[in-house]
């Protein structure tokens, strides 16, 4: 759809855009990734992701495993200093060496020292993203030592001189065709280099000799048990087994966060990591406590050396992360890659755009910031907060919150501008947040601009259609002029609701308040009116709240102080309704996600936050509950024959709605009524709140949406029965579908209200 | 005869190991049967290396060593070029179709890694349900304490060059003989 126009030879190399300290580099990296790497990344991440969903669904005690893993990691990080002492004792007791390096340079110095003590000429190396963090190869090669990367992905990256783009499959951005072209360019050989088989054979044969003759074998470690010094090593190719078994000296490098208390706790992680690999274990998962008893290898009369083992653990910022109330959580990460595979932006650009010099994806920003400089986490701007990673994280890290917090810190580093200050003052942004860009303040305080626009809807709707006004809006606050902006309705939801008919007596005895969220109130009030109509038809006593921001917009811009202000205001607005025994009904899923997930970070009153979490419902979810409680069949209340758009639907649930488990009730209800529902299988539509409106991300947003548009097309193929009406639950998803396909998009509530039997 | 519960574990193990591209055969617990099965499994291999066992009778290994092509005390140069390795498995894991090799005894680690063909002898009663049982503090987990283990699930594989390719640095073929 939005194919980049830049020819491939004018695009940057991945290395040139690895460090995204400034936003310009991030944008160049996105251009490069969309131009070259997108197709392979999409195919590979989505395959990983599909397999993971399938296997996780089949794992009966998935949640219990996650809880167990989380508890182990929490305990490990809390007691880390003691664990390191225990581990040192265990390694030394077995005759191994233990070194705790404080910085990357320190670790490099120690490793070089070991190599030089053995007059090493060749180091054979298993995959280690941590070694990328400390630029180990660069340092060893500079000292005249040959480094042979033996994981085939790392082998490709070494040949290409690129940084990893993914922590499990670091060269997943390469297609077979591109590897073939690369090898043909870099190697002089008569061997065929076309197919995956041929390329694998070529690399295998080159590396076989390296394994057999290396002076030193180098590996990372997935986990380390403090009580026994056991390393957990996960791989599929056999290169890590070779590297740790054959050479006389084995060096293992890992971050201190990889240490857990006991070997007996490793089984939980083994089972959880399997989900990242088809649900099977990888071909090889080793649990070894080196030095091994086996004699080291000695070919062709070379002397057989005594085994030596060095465990090098690095701090390099991790102990500081441990003291950081936010970044601490990143230390729980077990590098399974579930977050990046389930991320729509990552699926589209991969880790060379959505990543830094070593770490990538949603969790990568925290790692780059924690082990380097905060500015290195600039790429975490690509986290839209859609939350699709949240349920997939095996240790339950709240990755969107980490990225929102990084954004908050980056906002503080920004220079600010007169325009930002002006907009911040006008819209009452928290003083701390007025340093953010004018664009962030505009989107973060959108409720204020929407209220203004709505009050003057005649004027503002005229301006929205005016090219000069749109150019000004783009120049001042970065709203892409290619985006159609929906007009402000003549009457907001709150005003229109005052004129809506009251509940019919009888039916349910439910009492509820409809939360007038910003997007429904100022943008699409008909959704809210439909909710009132349905709930009242069911006999519910439902009232409407004042229109207040709940903080989602500010939170997503990293304006956390403002988000807290908004959250408190919304909670105070809703408190009397809760005390009156009313459930809180929400139309916009991103607002519901604030009540259910995010308020715990923002509200001081934990009891109120918990009450709101337990008593807030997505509007259609609530309708389904009322039907169930009253024992009425959906088809007795709604009639598919009355549907304003016919019975065939393409339904796109909102990303946060899916994470909250609120998408299924809508699908189920629509099917019970008799609708023929095709549901989108994408993680996110690409618009993701403000993301797709931002001028710098418009192209990426449209590229992400290609998958969604493709699915609509497939569901509407002649063989699939032809056209369907488009239905979506989120405001920005509605806009994305509308702009991409040029067709009307209904909210399920509007469809249901139109299908009421009465 | 295995108990019924063990039989269903065995069936699950065979199904999953086969999905993971291992070849699995069931063999009766006798020296002759085992010898014949290993001979069939290593057909075409000019040389093979056999690591000592712990759980199957030592006699069986004596019988296996009489197979043609067996290198009794291989040098490292021979290990690097041998066609097949035979090792006993410490355990099997039904859910994932994995075998677990306990390294340590001579040749156990190398003969399960360096050769294009790896033949694993798995005593049927040593199949457990799920991976974490090997880390429990009782039962087979207690036996595993202090050992260096590798869970082997199918032959070595990669998807780094695009399509899934079996046979990278480790064995290209994994043949499991479940000994009942």
Residue with the two structure tokens 């000004």: A472
Confidence of residue A498 (pLDDT cuts 50, 70, 90): confident
Helix count and strand count (H, E) for chain A: 37, 18
Q: What is the mean pLDDT of residues B69-77?
A: 94
Q: What is the mean pLDDT of residues A522-544?
A: 95
Provide the token pair at A504: 């019919």
Q: Any residues with CB less than 8 A from the CB of B5 and at least 6 apart, and which?
A: none
Q: Which residues of A28-53 are buried (b: 16+ CB within 10 A; e: fewer)?
A: bbbbbbbbbbbebbbebbbebbebbe
Dihedral over alpha carbons B58, B59, B62, B66 (to 10 degrees): -150
Q: What is the DSSP letter of A382?
A: G
- Model confidence over A45-96: pLDDT tens digits? 999 999 999 989 988 899 999 999 999 999 999 999 999 999 999 999 999 9
Residues of A in contact with B89 (CB under 8 A): none
Q: What is the DSSP letter of B56?
A: S
Could you tell me the maximum CA-CA distance found in chain A, to the nearest angstrom? 96
**Which chain B residue's Cα is nearest to A170?**
B160
Q: What is the DSSP letter of A557?
A: T
CA distance A414 to A433: 10
Query: Which domains, from first to last, does chain A contain?
Result: 46-319 (3.40.50.10420), 493-754 (no CATH)
State the smallest CA–CA distance between residue A367 and chain B in angstroms: 24
Asked if B51 and B38 touch (Cβ cutoff 8 Å), the reply is: no
Indicate which of B169, B170, B172, B174 best probes the interface with A, i.e. most A CBs within 10 Å of its own CB: B169
Question: How many alpha carbons fall within 13 Å on the CB side of residue B127?
Answer: 28
Q: What is the DSSP letter of A360?
A: B
Q: What is the DSSP letter of A278?
A: T
Residues of B in contact with A280 (CB under 8 A): 16, 19-20, 96-98, 153-154
Sign of torsion, CA A190 A191 A193 A194? positive
Q: Which residues pair with A310 in a beta bridge?
A: A97, A251
Does B5 have pLDDT greater than 80?
A: no
CA distance A154 to A161: 10
> How many domains does the structure of chain B reveal?
1
B138 touches chain A (CB under 8 A): no
**Which chain A residue's Cα is nearest to B130?**
A271
End-to-end CA distance of chain A: 43
Asked if A433 and A561 touch (Cβ cutoff 8 Å), the reply is: yes
State the smallest CA–CA distance between residue A378 and chain B in angstroms: 28
State the smallest CA–CA distance between residue A292 and chain B in angstroms: 7
State the smallest CA–CA distance between residue B147 and chain A in angstroms: 8
Sign of torsion, CA A476 A482 A488 A494? negative
- Model confidence over A622-653: pLDDT tens digits? 999 999 999 999 999 999 999 999 999 999 99
CA distance A605 to A628: 33
B141 touches chain A (CB under 8 A): yes
Percent of chain A with pLDDT strictly greater than 90: 91
What's the CATH number where B105 sits?
3.40.50.10420
**Which chain A residue's Cα is nearest to B158?**
A237
Q: Which of A509, A510, A490 is nearest to A499 (CA)?
A: A490
- ipTM of the prediction greater than 0.85, yes or no: yes
B157 touches chain A (CB under 8 A): yes
Does B3 have pLDDT greater than 70?
A: no
Q: Which of A694, A119, A286, A54 is nearest to B151 (CA)?
A: A286
- Model confidence over B74-116: pLDDT tens digits? 999 999 999 999 999 999 999 999 999 999 888 999 999 999 9
Dihedral over alpha carbons A656, A662, A666, A669 (to 10 degrees): 170
pLDDT of residue A415: 83
Sign of torsion, CA B123 B125 B128 B129? positive
Does A292 have pLDDT greater than 60?
A: yes
CA distance A600 to B67: 68
Asked if A356 and A20 touch (Cβ cutoff 8 Å), the reply is: yes
- Model confidence over A203-256: pLDDT tens digits? 999 999 999 999 999 999 999 999 999 999 999 999 999 999 999 999 999 999
Sign of torsion, CA A638 A640 A641 A643? positive
Q: The domain containing residue B51 runs over which residues? A: 4-179
């Amino acid at each position: 759809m939005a194919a980049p126009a830049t020819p491939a030879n004018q695009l940057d190399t991945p290395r040139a855009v690895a460090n995204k300290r400034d936003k310009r580099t991030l944008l160049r990296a996105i251009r490069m990734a969309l131009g070259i790497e997108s197709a392979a990344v999409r195919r590979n991440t989505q395959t990983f992701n599909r397999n993971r969903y399938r296997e996780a669904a089949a794992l009966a005690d998935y949640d219990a495993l996650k809880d167990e893993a989380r508890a182990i990691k929490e305990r490990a990080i809390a007691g880390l200093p003691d664990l390191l002492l225990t581990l040192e004792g265990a390694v030394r007791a077995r005759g191994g060496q233990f070194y705790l390096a404080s910085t990357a340079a320190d670790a490099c110095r120690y490793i070089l020292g070991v190599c030089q003590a053995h007059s090493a000429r060749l180091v054979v190396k298993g995959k280690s993203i941590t070694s990328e963090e400390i630029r180990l190869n660069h340092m060893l090669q500079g000292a005249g030592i040959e480094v042979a990367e033996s994981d085939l992905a790392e082998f490709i990256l070494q040949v290409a001189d690129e940084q990893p783009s993914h922590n499990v499959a670091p060269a997943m951005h390469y297609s077979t065709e591109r590897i073939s072209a690369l090898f043909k360019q870099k190697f002089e050989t008569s061997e065929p280099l076309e197919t995956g088989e041929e390329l694998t054979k070529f690399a295998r044969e080159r590396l076989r000799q390296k394994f057999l003759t290396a002076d030193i074998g180098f590996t990372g470690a997935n986990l380390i048990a403090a009580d026994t010094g056991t390393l957990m090593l996960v791989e599929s190719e056999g290169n890590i087994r070779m590297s740790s078994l054959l050479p006389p000296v084995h060096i293992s490098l890992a971050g201190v966060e990889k240490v857990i208390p006991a070997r007996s706790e490793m089984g939980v992680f083994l089972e959880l990591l399997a989900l990242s690999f088809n649900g099977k274990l990888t071909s090889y998962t080793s649990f070894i406590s080196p030095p091994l008893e086996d004699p080291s290898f000695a070919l062709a009369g070379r002397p057989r050396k005594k085994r030596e083992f060095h465990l090098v653990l690095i701090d390099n910022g991790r102990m500081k992360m441990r003291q950081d109330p936010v970044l601490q959580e990143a230390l729980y990460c077990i590098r399974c890659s579930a977050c990046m595979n389930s991320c729509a932006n990552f699926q589209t650009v991969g880790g060379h755009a959505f990543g830094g010099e070593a770490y990538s994806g949603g969790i990568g920003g925290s790692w780059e910031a924690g082990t380097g400089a905060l500015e290195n986490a600039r790429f975490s701007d690509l986290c839209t907060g859609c939350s699709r990673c949240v349920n997939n994280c095996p240790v339950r890290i709240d990755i969107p919150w980490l990225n929102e917090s990084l954004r908050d810190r980056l906002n503080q580093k920004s220079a600010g501008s007169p325009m930002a200050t002006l907009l911040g003052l006008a819209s009452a942004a928290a003083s701390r947040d007025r340093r953010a860009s004018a664009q962030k303040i505009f989107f973060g305080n959108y409720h204020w601009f929407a209220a203004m626009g709505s009050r003057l809807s005649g004027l503002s709707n005229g301006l929205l259609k005016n090219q000069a006004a749109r150019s000004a809006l783009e120049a001042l606050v970065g709203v892409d002029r290619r985006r159609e902006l929906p007009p402000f309705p003549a009457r907001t939801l709150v005003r229109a609701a005052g004129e809506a008919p009251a509940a019919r007596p009888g039916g349910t005895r439910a009492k509820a308040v409809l939360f007038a969220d910003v997007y429904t109130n100022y943008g699409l009030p008909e959704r809210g009116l439909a909710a009132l109509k349905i709930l009242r038809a069911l006999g519910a006593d439902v009232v409407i709240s004042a229109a207040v921001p709940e903080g989602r917009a500010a939170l997503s811009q990293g304006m956390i102080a403002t988000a807290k202000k908004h959250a408190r205001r919304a909670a105070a607005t809703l408190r009397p309704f809760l005390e009156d025994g009313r459930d809180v009904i929400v139309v916009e899923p991103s607002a519901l996600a604030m009540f259910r997930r995010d308020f715990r970070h923002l509200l001081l009153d934990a009891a109120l936050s918990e009450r709101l979490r337990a008593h807030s419902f997505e509007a259609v979810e609530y309708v389904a509950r009322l039907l169930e409680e009253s024992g009425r069949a959906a088809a007795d209340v709604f009639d598919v024959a009355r549907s304003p758009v016919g019975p065939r639907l393409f339904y796109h649930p909102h990303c946060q709605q899916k994470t909250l488990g609120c998408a299924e009730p809508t699908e189920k209800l629509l099917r019970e009524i008799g609708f023929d529902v095709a549901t989108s299988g994408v993680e996110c539509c690409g618009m993701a709140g403000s993301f797709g409106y931002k001028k710098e991300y418009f192209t990426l947003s449209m590229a992400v949406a290609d998958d969604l548009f493709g699915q609509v097309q497939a569901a509407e193929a002649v063989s699939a029965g032809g056209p369907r009406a488009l239905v979506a639950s989120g405001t920005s998803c509605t806009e994305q579908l509308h702009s991409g396909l040029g067709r009307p998009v209904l909210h399920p509530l509007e469809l249901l209200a139109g299908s009421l039997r009465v | 005869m295995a108990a019924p519960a063990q039989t269903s574990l065995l069936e699950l193990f065979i199904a999953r190991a086969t999905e993971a591209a291992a070849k699995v055969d069931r063999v009766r617990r006798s020296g002759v049967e085992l010898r014949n099965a290993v001979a069939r499994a290593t057909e075409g291999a000019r040389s093979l290396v056999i690591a000592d066992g712990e759980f199957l009778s030592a006699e069986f290994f004596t019988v296996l060593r009489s197979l043609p092509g067996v290198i009794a005390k291989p040098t490292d140069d021979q290990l690097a070029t041998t066609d097949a390795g035979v090792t006993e498995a410490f355990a099997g894991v039904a859910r994932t179709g994995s075998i677990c090799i306990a390294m340590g005894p001579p040749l156990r680690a190398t003969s399960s890694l360096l050769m294009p063909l790896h033949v694993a002898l798995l005593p049927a009663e040593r199949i457990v349900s799920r991976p974490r049982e090997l880390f429990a503090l009782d039962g087979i987990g207690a036996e595993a304490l202090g050992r260096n283990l590798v869970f082997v699930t199918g032959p070595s594989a990669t998807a780094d060059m695009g399509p899934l390719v079996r046979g990278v640095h480790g064995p290209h073929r994994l043949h499991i003989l479940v000994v009942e």
